[in-house]
Homo-oligomer: A and B are copies of this chain.
Amino acid sequence: MSIGIKGLAEHLNLSIGTVSRALNDRPDVNPETRKRVGEAALALGYVPNQSGRSLRRGQTGVIAFMMETGHEITGQGDAFFMSIFDGVQTVLGRHHLDLVALLCPSDEDAGDYLKRMVSRGIADGIIISSTKRIDPRIDFLASRGVPFVTLGRSSTDAGQPWIDIDFEAMARQAIDRLVARGHERIAVTVPDDDANLGHVFLDSARQAHSAHGLVLDPELALPFRPNEAGGYAVAGRLLALPERPTAVVLLNPSLAAGLYRGLSEAGVRPGRDIAVIGRESPQSPYLSPSLTRFREDLFGCGMALCEALLASMPRYADIYPTGTIRRIWPTELIDGESDAFRAGR
């Protein structure tokens, strides 16, 4: 098809070795020759064949981010992943690495899919997200020796680096705040699958309750699907409870909009009739009444994630601090009006 390094070398009356060195900015090549080669490459539209290069170098220059299409990327928090991608790509850019997303079909087992992609050798390192409490992908990647990092902890531990948002602090702060305002029946939301963050959040919420001498009614742990419709459904379930909670904490960014819609249809107004604490999303700044919510520096989180990955790759060991990086990523509470409602005494 197009020209290779061989054709380029012939055209320049040089050996392919020299051309390769010139293109890769290696030391022992005449600056003038280097210039000639560069110009000719541009003129002839030469692009290195990545397969040949990967074969020889044993690396691809690509980092992969795995996500599942069935879960609706967006549902997990809209700008959430996009912001993280931006952070990841910022770091990758410094090393001439690129990012691709591995899109696991909804009807396929995530483990099988990952296995296929890894055996394709599509990437030098992998980021997996939405970790489950028990996540076979982790053991698999570890056994294969592929550098990887997880966004989210897991009880499946292979000693890999991870970055995770501080859901403990989130639960504690939310509960503390609500209890201080007189609430005793506080609903919390939990994912409807084995997502690890759900377990972390629920455990912490329970602990925070007992720290105040309260106990979290199991009935008040409402399962959700991570999208707007899921928030709407939560509103329905919440209003249908025999003894209505006076407050609710939303674990997922997408829920607030749907919850607001569901509540408003029932004439229940956040901040006046019920206290709501949620998470930052593209919609949240526009919600009315303004949402009291947790926000994270997701761009920074993406950067940290990427740095943790690179630090675990031998090739970049000299650039990034050694040792496996594991960080709990801080979250910040933004005051709004949605939790202004105080429970009766």
A interface residues (Cβ-Cβ under 8 A, vs B): 1-2, 47-52, 54-55, 58, 60-62, 64-65, 69-70, 72-75, 78-79, 81-82, 85-86, 89-90, 93, 98-103, 105-106, 116-122, 144-145, 227-229, 232, 257-258, 261, 264-265, 282-283, 285-288
Could you name 21 residue pairs across A and B whose Cβ atoms are closer than 8 Å? A1-B145, A2-B145, A47-B118, A49-B55, A49-B121, A51-B52, A60-B120, A62-B120, A72-B79, A74-B78, A74-B82, A86-B105, A98-B116, A100-B101, A100-B122, A227-B282, A228-B282, A229-B283, A258-B283, A258-B286, A264-B264
Q: Which residue of B lies closest to A287 (CB)?
A: B261
Min distance, Cβ A257 to any Cβ of chain B, angstroms:
7
* Contact assessment for B69 and A78 in the assembled complex, using a CB-CB cutoff below 8 Å: no
Instruction: Note all chain B residues with C-beta closer than 8 A to A120.
Output: 50, 60-62, 98
Q: Which residue of B lies closest to A68 (CB)?
A: B82
Instruction: Note all chain B residues with C-beta closer than 8 A to A101.
Output: 100-101, 103
Q: In the bound complex, how far is the Cα of B72 from the Cα of A86, in angstroms?
A: 11
Min distance, Cβ A82 to any Cβ of chain B, angstroms:
5
Question: Which listed residue, B73, B93, B103, B261, touches A89 by the CB 8 Å rule?
Answer: B103
* Contact assessment for B285 and A229 in the assembled complex, using a CB-CB cutoff below 8 Å: yes
Q: In the bound complex, how far is the Cα of B230 from the Cα of A285, in angstroms?
A: 12
Instruction: Note all chain B residues with C-beta closer than 8 A to A78.
Output: 72, 74-75, 227
Instruction: Note all chain B residues with C-beta closer than 8 A to A62.
Output: 120, 122
* Contact assessment for A69 and B49 in the assembled complex, using a CB-CB cutoff below 8 Å: no
Q: Which residue of B lies closest to A225 (CB)?
A: B282
Question: Which listed residue, B49, B144, B229, B282, touches A282 by the CB 8 Å rule?
Answer: B229
Q: Which residue of B lies closest to A145 (CB)?
A: B1
Instruction: Note all chain B residues with C-beta closer than 8 A to A52.
Output: 51, 55
Q: In the bound complex, how far is the Cα of B62 from the Cα of A86, in angstroms?
A: 24
Min distance, Cβ A324 to any Cβ of chain B, angstroms:
20
10 new A-B contacts, CB < 8 A, other than A51-B54, A72-B79, A75-B78, are A2-B145, A47-B118, A51-B52, A51-B121, A55-B55, A73-B73, A100-B101, A101-B103, A122-B122, A261-B286
Q: In the bound complex, how far is the Cα of B117 from the Cα of A227, in angstroms?
A: 32
Q: Which residue of B lies closest to A81 (CB)?
A: B73
Instruction: Note all chain B residues with C-beta closer than 8 A to A227.
Output: 78, 282
Q: In the bound complex, how far is the Cα of B86 from the Cα of A99, in angstroms?
A: 21
Min distance, Cβ A87 to any Cβ of chain B, angstroms:
10
Q: Which residue of B lies closest to A90 (CB)?
A: B105
* Contact assessment for A50 and B121 in the assembled complex, using a CB-CB cutoff below 8 Å: yes
Known: A74-B79, A79-B74, A100-B100. A229 touches B286 (CB 8 A): yes
* Contact assessment for B98 and A117 in the assembled complex, using a CB-CB cutoff below 8 Å: yes
**Which of A82, A106, A257, A288 lies at the interface centre, i.e. has the most chain B CB atoms within 10 A of its CB?**
A82
Q: Closest 10 A-B residue pairs measured CB to CB?
A: A74-B74, A101-B101, A51-B54, A47-B119, A51-B55, A50-B121, A50-B120, A100-B100, A89-B105, A74-B78
